[in-house]
Structures are given as structure tokens and as C-alpha cells.
Amino acid sequence: MLRDLLVRMSRSQKAAIIVAIDAFLVIAAFVGGNAMLTGSFPTVAILRASTPFLLTMVPAAIAVILYFDLHRMKLNSYELKGVIQTALMASVSGATGMLTSIVIGAGISPQLFVIFSMILLIASASARLVLREIVIRIYRQGKGLKRVLIYGAGRTGQQLAAALVTDIEVSPVAFVDDNPALHGLTISGLKVQSSKSIERLVETHRVDRIVLAMPSASEADKARIARQLSHLACEVHIMPSFAQMVMTDGHATATKPLDFSKLLGRNHLESELPGVSEAYKGKTVLVTGAGGSIGSELCRQIAMCQPRMLIMLDHSELLLYRIHRKLESLHCDAEIRAVLGSVCEPALVRQLFLDHDIDVVLHAAAYKHLPLLETNAVEGMRNNVIGTKVVADAARAHGAERFILISTDKAVRPTSALGVSKRLAEMLVQDLATRSTKTMFSMVRFGNVLGSSGSVIPLFQEQIARGGPVTVTHSDVTRYFMTVSEAVRLVLLAGSFARGGDVFVLDMGEPISIWQLARKMIRNAGFTVRDAANPQGDIEILFTGLRQGEKLREELLIGSDMLTTPHPKILRAQESHLSELEMANVLHELRRLIEDHDEQATIELANRWVETAKSGSGDKMVPATNSEKLLSN
């Protein structure tokens, strides 16, 4: 009955009730302040003498309430900001009473108005909190509440708990977290307990759903948690990450069921194209750059394909240690080898092929941070071009079945040292494909990977956490985006049906505005954007100007010829490349310039042979005069 009454009441009626309650509390607080100051309840004469003060204090309080719309603030959203506004209302009302006392010469002690303001603040704030609890209980009557256990007491978990406290259909019962430092703490009214207590908590509280509030957790951590929860008789859902929100235009705000089949090692590639995992099953697979964003995910997904051996090569000790530890926690059947070293070391790479009879190479090792490579072009060329040459030559010499180069959209008509180096690496692989009788050389080109090292997502999150500003190079900048897991899955699928010389391009969907992405992330973090339209907003977006070598819009194709493949999101491009003689001369000259560390000449050489955005498009990639000049050296 009460629930029906609340539903029928208009917003203005509810607001009027709040104003009436506050007006009554002003009177009650003044009477209470008198009683506390004198030690006895005020007499009728004193109450009559108080009338002039109440006639000014009540309107003053109502004026502040109306100014801040405190009477229209939803009870569910009454938190710190509302309490501060209530405190201001109480202070203004008390100050008005004190001013009235001075004007009429009543000679009342200022202590009375200080006590009055404190009582009014406590009473008004408490009234709203009590009303919120009463309304929630009324709405919850007769409803079967879904009891939720939150796994993860970090920022995401805390925001989820704060939202659910006032929900009329869901009731959070506790936090669980793997961090011992949080155990025993109370957050948002919920106690944080060890993840070892999950079974007891599920049984004691009759938990209906466990929500993993850990959107940034690695796949290995999710797999470990999945094993822990898979036998429980309750639903297990996961909160979406920023990446998922961006890719779904902000509609991925609801939790989704946890995919146990994926996390527990049941091969997800088979659901895309049946039989595709046979390309990796029982094989010895080498992943270069194994510690990076793409490389580590390649290792994780390959491990699910039951290879005979997975060899991980990386020059970063820390990153290699991390991916090795994660794969060990998956307890996959494949033999895992972690090799510390650089792809630019021919002796090391040759020894790997001699010792392990490698079948498949996934070459993800590359320097990729655009601004750094602009000032370190020589090392970028050494790692991205010569490193690719070293690994590709070893794969061809030892008869590996497949070599797959991980490339980037920045290689298409590049404007940066990064893009030029990756395009040269592509042409190198294309050239080897024409001369290889056993090894099938191919490459997969795609755009930005959400959340990877150096991408805008972690940068924006860090800037938002610091309170801004969020830096965007240009308001018109757009980029193609794909989640790392989807990109890697498509890379492995493309590699399985490569025929040699293929340039695979992933369908990245529509390009996303970086400016709009920044605005969305600010809003998703619970803040408002500060701009000309909203000068009182929380976080400003600052435009810094395009960096050297940066494009407004990236491309995925050099030409326009595209062929389909067995998968709708993987296309095969038809692109020209250098001849064997031209490629040999480019590499010979490039090696010499790298050894001399002649940065300017290295850049000029690369730009002569790569079709850049400035040089325009055309079938012939290198002018004849440049070719003749280089061949004469």
C-alpha cells in the first residue's frame, strides 16, 4: 500500500514534503538549542519570544534549499556533496538568526546559533538518510532480492557496492579480495574477506551471484579465479572493462556471465573456425616479443591450442618473467621455454632453431612507441627491420612451416619512423615469400589494441586518476581499435590459412574519435567534462597538437584490392612490393647506415623506398632515379 502511494506521488509533491520536513527541523533545532544551552525545555514565553528569529531563519533555510535544489535531490544520490550543501543551509540559517538578534537588540548568546546550526545539520542529513532507508525498504517489500558477493574490493568494486546499496532488487552481502592488506576492512558498509572464504559466504548468505569487479585483471588471473568458482552453485558474472564499453559505444555497463569454457582452457578458436587449432597443435611455436601486450596474449591463446612446445623470446627480463609465471599458473600441457635475448642477435636466433626444430613463428617483437622512435629512428630500424630479417632468415633456412609478422596500420603510407620501419619489415617478408619453397610467409595488419602498452586507454585512466587534464593531440584524431584478445584470435586464425605472401588485414570496424573516447572515459569514471559549455566541470580535455609523425586518421590498405578469406573479419590485401634485388640493396645500405648510426641518412633511405603519405599513391613505389642511384652504391 505504501509502495503504491509512493509511486503515485509526483516529483513536486515529494519535493514539497522534503521542504516541509526541513522547515519543521529548523524550528525543532532552535528549540533544542535553547534547551541544551539553558538545561531545561523552553517556556511558552520564551517560545513566543523566538518567533521573530524563526520568521527569518525558516525562510533563509528554505531559500538555500531551493537554490541548491536540495528538495529535488534524489535520496539515492544524497552523499557527501548533499551533506556539504546541507551544512551550508544550516550555517546560513544560523547566521540569519544571529543577525536578527543583533538588529532587534535581543542580546541572545551567539552560542545558541552555533548549537542550532550543528543540530540542524545533523537532523537534516539524518532525516534524508533515514527517509532513503525507509523508501528502499518499502520498494523492496515483496521482492525476491538477488544477493550478490563482490569479488574485488578495488575502485571498481567500491563503485559497484555504492551503486547496489540503494538498489531495490540487488543486495550486496560482502567483498572478497586476494589482497591480505584489505582483509578485515569495511568498505561501503561491507566487510572485506579472504577469497578462501567464498564457499562459506555463498552458503551462509545464500548468495545468488558472484560479480568479478576486476575489469583489468589478466586472463591468467581470471582463469585462476574461474577454477576456484566453477563448482559453486551460483551465477558468476564479470564487470565490463573500459575497452568493452568503448567497443560497444557505452552499452556494456551491465555485467555478463563469465565464460568458463574460454578461461578454463577449452579452445575458443574452434568456435570461430572448426579445425583451426590443428595449425598449432603438437607444433613447436616461437613467439618473439612474448612479454609485450600482443605477444603475451599470443602466448596465452597458443597455449590453449596444445602445442608441443611454446618458446617465448623477449629482451625484457621483467616482462618475460611475468608471462612465464602466468602461463605456469594455467597448468597447460605444453612445454614452456622462456628465452631472454634480442631478435637482433643472429647467433641466439639460429641456435633456437637448431635446438628446437621450430614449426611456427609469430613475430611480434617491435619497438612501437611513436614519439620515442621519432628521436631514436636508428634503433627503431635495427629492431623492427633488421630484427625481422634475422628471424625470418632463420625460419626459412631451417624450414619452418609458417612465419607470421604482426604489423600495424601505421605502415600504410607512413608519416613516422615507426610506420616506415614496419612497412620495410612488411616488404621484407613479402620478398621472402616469393623465394621460399617451404616456409609460408605472411603478415597480419591491424590498428590500435585497447589497453596495450602506450595506448590511450591506460594514459587517460592515469590522467583521470590524477584529476586531469586529459591530453588529446587533436579534436579530429580518429583511430581503429580492437581488444587485444580479439586481435590475437584473428591473427592466429589468419595464420592457420596463410598460403604464402599474404597480407591479411583485420576488419577493425569504424574508427573511433579519440576526443569522444576521452569524454566517455571521464564520464564513466564518475566525473564531468570541464569545457566552455560546463566551466564548473571536474576534468578538462587539453588539446596538445599532433605529435611529429602522427596522422589525423590511420589507414589499413595501401591499395584498394581486397579478397575474402574463410573468416568475415579477415581480408586479404593485394599489394605490390620491392623486387629481390631492390630489397637486397636496401638492406645492405640500411645495415651500413645503422652501424654508422647515421640517423638522418637512415631516415632518408627508408623514405626513398617506402610510399609515404607525402609521396602520394601509385603502382610504382620507388622512382627509377632513386633505384638507379642506390644500385650504383
CATH dotted code for 146-263: 3.40.50.720
Contacts of 369 (CB under 8 A, 6+ apart): 418, 454
Q: pLDDT per residue over 56-82, tens digit each?
A: 999 999 998 888 888 777 776 677 788
Dihedral angle of Cα 613, 614, 620, 625, to the nearest 10 degrees: -150
pLDDT value at position 428? Answer: 92
Starting at the edge strand found earlier in the chain, the sheet holding 235-238 runs 186-187, 190-194, 170-177, 146-151, 209-212, 235-238, 256-257
Q: 621 pLDDT exceeds 60?
A: no
pLDDT value at position 327? Answer: 85
pLDDT value at position 83? Answer: 87
pLDDT value at position 508? Answer: 67
pLDDT value at position 394? Answer: 95
Q: 9 pLDDT exceeds 80?
A: no
Q: pLDDT per residue over 501-511, tens digit each?
A: 778 888 766 77
Q: pLDDT per residue over 405-449, tens digit each?
A: 999 888 888 888 888 899 999 999 999 988 888 999 998 988 777
What value does the mean pLDDT take over residues 108-135? 87
In terms of average pLDDT, the best of 94-98, 284-288, 480-484 is: 284-288
Residue 406 φ/ψ, nearest 5 degrees: -90, 115
Q: pLDDT per residue over 326-361, tens digit each?
A: 888 776 778 999 999 999 999 999 999 999 999 999
Closest-CA residue to 470 (of 550, 537, 533, 374): 537
What value does the mean pLDDT take over residues 93-114? 86
How is the chain split into domains, by residue range?
2-140, 146-263, 274-448+484-508+556-597
pLDDT value at position 261? Answer: 46
pLDDT value at position 130? Answer: 86
Residue 617 confidence class, pLDDT cut points 50, 70, 90: very low
User: Using alpha carbons only, how large is the chain's radius of gyration in Å?
Assistant: 33
What value does the mean pLDDT take over residues 302-309? 88
pLDDT value at position 580? Answer: 83
User: Who wins on pLDDT, 630 or 597?
Assistant: 597
Active site residue 368: no
User: Who wins on pLDDT, 142 or 554?
Assistant: 554
What value does the mean pLDDT take over residues 365-394? 92
Contacts of 10 (CB under 8 A, 6+ apart): none
Q: How far apart are CA 573 and CA 233, in angstroms?
A: 49
Q: 303 pLDDT exceeds 80?
A: yes
**Beta-ladder partners of 502:** 442
Q: Which residue has the cell 583451426?
A: 276
Judging by DSSP bridges, how do beta strands 190-194 and 186-187 pair with one another? Answer: antiparallel
Catalytic residue among 410, 422, 520, 551: 410
Residue 529 confidence class, pLDDT cut points 50, 70, 90: confident
84 in helix, strand or coil? helix
Q: pLDDT per residue over 234-278, tens digit each?
A: 778 877 765 555 555 444 445 655 554 444 444 454 455 555 677
* pTM (whole model) above 0.75: no
Q: How far apart are CA 402 and CA 443, in angstroms?
A: 10
CATH dotted code for 274-448+484-508+556-597: 3.40.50.720
Contacts of 12 (CB under 8 A, 6+ apart): none
Q: 151 pLDDT exceeds 60?
A: yes
Q: pLDDT per residue over 16-29, tens digit each?
A: 888 899 999 999 99
Q: pLDDT per residue over 160-173, tens digit each?
A: 887 777 676 778 88
Share of the chain above pLDDT 70, in %: 80
In terms of average pLDDT, the best of 94-108, 211-225, 235-249, 398-412 is: 398-412
233, 287, 290, 321, 334 from 341: Cα distances, Å: 47, 12, 11, 13, 22
E runs forming strands in 464-559: 470-472, 478-479, 481-483, 502-506, 512-513, 529-530, 539-543
Q: pLDDT per residue over 224-237, tens digit each?
A: 677 677 667 677 88
What value does the mean pLDDT take over residues 33-53? 81
User: Who wins on pLDDT, 585 or 632?
Assistant: 585
Residue 625 confidence class, pLDDT cut points 50, 70, 90: very low
Q: How far apart are CA 488 and CA 290, in angstroms?
A: 12
Residue 194 φ/ψ, nearest 5 degrees: -70, 150
E runs forming strands in 219-347: 235-238, 256-257, 284-288, 309-314, 335-340
Q: Do 146-263 and 274-448+484-508+556-597 share a fold?
A: yes
> What is the dihedral sign for C-alpha 166, 172, 178, 181?
positive
Q: Which helix or strand (DSSP H or E) is residue 326 part of?
A: helix 317-330
Alpha helix (H) residue ranges in 384-507: 387-397, 417-435, 456-465, 484-496
What value does the mean pLDDT take over residues 181-193? 86
Q: 589 pLDDT exceeds 60?
A: yes
Residue 208 confidence class, pLDDT cut points 50, 70, 90: confident
Q: Which residue has the cell 569522444?
A: 516
pLDDT value at position 165? Answer: 72
